[in-house]
């Protein structure tokens, strides 16, 4: 592992104060996502991950959907303020999906592993999320990972005419950071890792 990769992993943090500026071009963002889609592994090379990149008005439309879905919830004013300053204020949002048609096909084709395919699918999505998040940060961008699914799933699929078999897993708003996150606390490593020689 190179020092550059280790530093990139360390520097990937949740950034909640975002501007709508970008440190790289929209084409570079697309290329970064394409790189991840091509090279992140998946169980049985199933390639279940699907990604939607929302920029400009489409980015803002997503967060309007979230606010509309949540408007009748308790403490909406606080939620709306957070959405406006931490998510909608950014340059764009990446939506992570997993194609359930492929997952179900694998369950039928390999019944001995049937219960594992949904879990492996989510693990594949997590690897895509981590890799893209890390590459965005390495390019000077800030991002966070949000989970307003399943509350927004149908509106999202209908708004962008997405395949009904795509299951929304997470939303990643990103933009140029306006401030740095607080220091991160870590549990003692020896409580989290056991080595037997």
- What is the predicted pLDDT for the residue at 2? 56
* Domain assignment of residue 3, yes or no: no
* Domain assignment of residue 186, yes or no: no
* Domain assignment of residue 183, yes or no: no
The count of other CB atoms within 10 Å of the CB of residue 127 is 15
Domain count, the chain: 1
> At 159, which CATH number?
3.40.109.10
The phi, psi pair for 161, rounded to 5°, reads 50, 55
- What is the predicted pLDDT for the residue at 1? 43
* Domain assignment of residue 129, yes or no: yes
| In 51-139, alpha helices (H) | 56-70, 76-82, 100-109, 116-138
Q: What range does the domain containing 166 cover?
A: 20-178
Q: Given the structure tokens 């990149």, which residue do they identify?
A: 53
* Domain assignment of residue 138, yes or no: yes
* Domain assignment of residue 13, yes or no: no
Is residue 4 classed exposed, middle or buried when 0-12, 13-18 and 19+ CB atoms within 10 A define those classes? exposed
* Domain assignment of residue 2, yes or no: no
Whole-model pTM? 0.95
Segment 142-183, tens digit of pLDDT: 999 999 999 999 999 999 999 999 999 999 999 999 999 989
Segment 109-128, tens digit of pLDDT: 999 999 999 999 999 999 99
Q: Residue 167 and residue 150: Cα distance in Å, rounded?
A: 9
Segment 10-34, tens digit of pLDDT: 999 999 999 999 999 999 999 999 9
**By mean pLDDT, which of 20-34, 46-60, 65-79 is the weakest?**
65-79
* Domain assignment of residue 64, yes or no: yes
- Cα diameter, the chain: 56
């Amino acid at each position: 592992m190179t020092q550059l990769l280790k530093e990139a992993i360390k520097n990937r943090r949740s950034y909640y104060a975002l501007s709508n500026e970008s440190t790289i071009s929209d084409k570079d963002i697309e290329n970064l996502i394409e790189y991840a889609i091509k090279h992140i592994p998946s169980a049985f090379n199933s390639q279940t991950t699907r990604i939607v990149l929302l920029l400009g008005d489409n980015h803002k439309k997503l967060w309007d959907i979230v606010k509309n879905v949540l408007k009748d919830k308790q403490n909406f004013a606080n939620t709306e303020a957070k959405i406006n300053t931490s998510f909608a204020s950014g340059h764009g949002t990446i939506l992570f999906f997993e194609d359930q048609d492929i997952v179900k096909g694998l369950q039928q084709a390999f019944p001995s592993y049937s219960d594992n395919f949904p879990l492996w699918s989510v693990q594949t999505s997590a690897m895509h999320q981590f890799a893209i998040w890390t590459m965005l940060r390495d390019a000077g961008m800030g991002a966070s990972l949000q989970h307003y699914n399943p509350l927004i799933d149908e509106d999202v699929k209908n708004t962008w005419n997405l395949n009904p078999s795509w299951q929304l897993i997470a939303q990643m708003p990103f933009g140029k950071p306006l401030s740095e996150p607080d220091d991160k606390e870590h549990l003692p490593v020896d409580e989290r890792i056991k080595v037997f020689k």
